[in-house]
Amino acid sequence: MADNGNSHFADYLLTFLAGAATGFLLGILFAPSSGKETRKKIKEEVKKGQELAVQGYTKVAKEAEKGAKVVKEKAEESIEAIKEFLEKKKGEAVGERPEFLEDLETEK
């Protein structure tokens, strides 16, 4: 099957025309608006951006609050565990002390 140049030319021409038509339509759809319309669109986008920023800040603040609460709870648990450990050691030390003192007295 012989390939002639006319087949490729038609493909290129068709692709070019489709691209040109697409570009023309996009150009009309996104052509610069008047100054008044542009300022209105910018204000709307800024307002949307502000709303998104507030939502993002609120979400971050809530997550930070949750994290702080967890840290506080864990710190309280740790403090309680340390208190229990010290009380236990204090009880053990008090329980052993009389034996130690008796040993000292018998050695005299």
How far apart are the C-alpha atoms of 70 and 64, rounded to whole Å?
Answer: 10
pLDDT of residue 70 exceeding 70: yes
Note whether 32 and 38 are within 8 A (CB): yes
CB crowding 18-50: b at 16 or more within 10 Å, else e: eeeeeeeeeeeeeeeeeeeeeeeeeeeeeeeee
**Closest CA relative to residue 33, chosen from 42, 25, 24, 22:** 42
User: Number of C-alpha atoms within 13 angstroms, CB side, residue 94?
Assistant: 6
57 vs 98 pLDDT, higher one: 57
Whether pLDDT at 61 is above 90: no
| Greatest distance between any 2 Cα atoms in the chain | 122
Sign of CA dihedral 67, 72, 78, 80: negative
- Is 50 or 97 the better-scoring residue by pLDDT? 50
Give the pLDDT confidence score for residue 3 in this predicted structure.
53
Q: Is the pLDDT of residue 78 over 80?
A: yes
Looking at residue 3, the DSSP 8-state letter turns out to be: P
